[in-house]
């Protein structure tokens, strides 16, 4: 069974600081996704990671994937208030019909 664990579940940080959100999954997967959700909104796709060692960056966010450790990280550099949101990681596997299994989410609050 595919399971996903995210930590921390809640993160309060000051503007300008760096931090990392961790996503562990239980079995090999084909894709790992990071999504952002603002309050009352739907999910916005941030990154899709496919292969070991994959690294993608968009603005102050950088995602990486270590398939051997079954670990992905979402690194936040020099946080700004606009990054406040809930971040979800999710994994999919073709043999499971490409459905997404989500982590619990990390609520990020950036204090100015």
Residues that bind other proteins (CB under 8 A): 31, 33, 35, 41-43, 45, 48, 50, 88, 90, 92, 97-105
Angstrom distances, CA of residue 99 to CA of 33, 58, 102:
12, 25, 10
54 or 80, CB closer to other proteins?
54
Q: How far is the CB of 15 from other proteins (least distance, A)?
A: 25
Token reading at 16: 């300008």
19 or 96, CB closer to other proteins?
96
- Strand-pair partners of 24: 5, 71
Cβ atoms of residues 104 and 35 within 8 Å: no
Q: How far is the CB of 102 from other proteins (least distance, A)?
A: 5
Q: How far is the CB of 26 from other proteins (least distance, A)?
A: 15
Strands 10-14 and 106-111: parallel
45 or 112, CB closer to other proteins?
45
């Amino acid at each position: 069974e595919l399971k996903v664990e995210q930590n921390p579940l809640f993160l309060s940080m000051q503007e300008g600081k760096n931090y990392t959100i961790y996503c562990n999954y239980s079995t090999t997967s084909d894709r790992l996704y990071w999504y952002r959700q603002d309050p009352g909104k739907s999910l916005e796709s941030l990154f899709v990671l496919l292969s070991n060692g994959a690294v993608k960056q968009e603005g102050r966010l950088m995602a990486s994937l270590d398939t051997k450790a079954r670990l992905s990280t979402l690194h936040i550099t020099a946080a700004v208030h606009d990054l406040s949101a809930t971040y979800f990681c999710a994994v999919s596997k073709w043999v499971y019909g490409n459905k997404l299994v989500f982590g619990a989410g990390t609520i990020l609050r950036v204090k100015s």
